[in-house]
Structure 1
Amino acid sequence: MYSDLESDYVNPVEMCNKLNPFVIPEAILHGFLTVLFLLSGQWVAFAINAPLLVWNLRKVITEQYTFDATEIFRSLPDHKKEAFARLGFYLLCFFFYLYRMILALITE
């Protein structure tokens, strides 16, 4: 979406309207999974997820979680960096959870 915005393939208002509905559900789902890791005693998984949970909570508390169509071009590099960081985090988590699942299946 960000590269389409840079290339003027998508309208900033349209892009913000598409992305904003996903911000809060993503934060809630990630918070729920992190709490589940804490309650089940999965300390490594909780430690991996805690920084992103704190980041999401900070964004929600300071009300910086929505994309603003009037400011999107000024903050586009920051949004791109955050999106790539989230992508890297989710890829790391995917392979970590896959490894833990295979390890649990092998040990049984």
Structure 2
Amino acid sequence: MPGAADLPHPERSEIELTAVLFALSDPERLSIARQLVDGPLDMASCHATDPNLPKSTKSHFMKVLREAGVIRNDPNGRRRLLTLRREDLDTKFPGLLEAVLGSPEV
């Protein structure tokens, strides 16, 4: 049974292309996903491009990305560790991350 700090994540088979594309369609969420390309980050270190966003908005961005299957948000002591689900997404949708996250920011 998951602990209280565990958040639900979709299984690889449950990840849908439309949900992933929706999650990455917002510039702030896309920015967060791009920060995770090089490896996991502590949630406190991962930031949206607008530093004035309320904490609740940032949490909502993380929730949308997690529920779409783009990231994992796991407990790490008293903090949270964010990880891009590269293997799952590359297996289900080959080339998608490269096409979306590898493109230059506009």
TM over 0.5: no
> What TM-score do you get using the length of structure 1 for normalisation?
0.29
Q: TM-score, normalised by structure 2?
A: 0.30
Greater RCO (CA < 8 Å, at least 6 residues apart) = 2
Q: Please identify which structure carries the higher strand content.
A: 2
